[in-house]
A and B are shown apart, each in its own frame.
Chain A
């Protein structure tokens, strides 16, 4: 299984690596560049759509409570153009995400990088070209 995770990680790394997208909305109006966050969880759903690809993951906090979080990536079109496919990320995948929290306090993150399997950090491509890098 370790090998499987490694393969998945490499595949995701290849397709995620160069993603760089434009958002149809303002990053600063929705996310807080002063609130970076790192979360690890298990993917429960992937929405491979426009204007943004979104995925959802169950994340356990320090108290052991599990909550479902929403993560925003670039547009489906831009990710396809970078080599992603709708099967690049699947329910049950264990992922680690670096990103920025939503300003409204909801469980929403603008994903800057996503890593899978072996924990290798991979650039996911924020939904905003000017978003700060972690």
Chain B
């Protein structure tokens, strides 16, 4: 029995260590404190061109409140206390239906479709930024989705085929990476509660790497079809040091058949 237990424990530990070799790895470019831990307050790294390098694996800091009795994330969770999102009547009706009747059911991610912008950054899932000349790529672990932000000086396309992630271009404003996106389809939700958007949505994200371990973005939502005025949310991110993304294919979706689309 003792031998069996030893073997069992060894097998479990061996399996765990194999996984650990991939998701727990000491990355050589990570600045460290004297005790070898990642120095998350070290200065933000810079590229050869002298711009801040946003590369790394990130996860948003959880909001301190949740404006939804069912627990679904809400854009308001990332806005100042007392802030309001002023919707046009049709948009508000659709929002209230999604929030109060559907209880968040039927959102695109339920069927493994993209969260899009900004909703892809709101759940506690990790994503990897790869910043290279002419393009910055964001790899989302969830469902192996990605988006690309072109930085080669091109303009946004005119009347493109509507897309889940839209079309993104980026430029530097000092130390802030400004990303403008348009050309969305109207199928994604802005958050898990159900704020809608139209195809005319334009988002502006202003990413700022504060130091090695911290990043912040301000996302402005501009959609005159749905909202009476643009509004901005602030999302903060913590670097996830010394780890790597894992494959995440949505291959076994079985929840949709149990979702009740109504009270």
Report which A residues bind B (CB closer than 8 A).
Answer: 3-4, 7-8, 11, 15, 20-30, 47, 49-52, 54, 72, 75-77, 80-81, 83, 85, 87-88, 102-104, 106, 108, 128-131
Partner of A104, one of B102, B124, B248, B260: B260
The chain B residue with its CB closest to the CB of A7 is: B5
- Cα-based distance from A102 to B11 in the complex (angstroms): 35
Q: Which residue of A lies closest to B15 (CB)?
A: A85
- A23 to B103 Cα, complex, angstroms: 14
CB of A35 to closest CB in B, whole Å: 13
**Chain B interface residues toward A at CB < 8 A:** 1, 4-5, 8-9, 11-12, 15-16, 19, 23, 62, 66, 70-72, 102-107, 109-110, 112, 123-125, 141-143, 192, 243, 246-256, 258-261
Kindly state the separation between the CA atoms of A76 and B123 in the bound complex, as whole angstroms. 16
For B254, list chain A residues within 8 Å (CB): 52, 54
Q: Chain A residues near B259 (CB, 8 Å)?
A: 25-26, 29-30
Complex CA distance for A87 and B103, rounded to whole angstroms: 35
Contact B248 A75 (CB under 8 A): yes
Question: Who on chain B is nearest to A75 by CB?
Answer: B248
Q: Check B102 against A50 for contact (C-beta < 8 Å).
A: no
CB–CB B72/A104 < 8 A: no
Across chains A and B, which 6 residue pairs bring their CB atoms closest together, nearest first?
A130-B71, A29-B105, A26-B104, A28-B70, A49-B252, A28-B103
Can you offer 9 A-B residue contacts whose CB atoms are under 8 A? Answer: A22-B125, A25-B104, A26-B110, A51-B112, A51-B248, A81-B23, A85-B19, A87-B15, A104-B260
How far apart are the CA atoms of A6 and B19 in the complex, in Å? Answer: 24
A22 to B105, CA, bound (A): 15
Q: In the bound complex, how far is the Cα of B107 from the Cα of A4, in angstroms?
A: 44
Chain B's closest residue to A76 (CB) is: B248
**CB pair B72 A26 closer than 8 Å:** yes
The listed residue with most B CB atoms (<10 A of its CB), out of A7, A51, A72, is A51
Q: How far is the CA of A12 from the CA of B160 in the complex (A)?
A: 51
Which A residues are CB-close (under 8 A) to B19?
80, 85
With contacts A4-B1, A26-B110, A52-B255 taken as known, whether A77 is within 8 angstroms of B246 at the C-beta atoms is yes
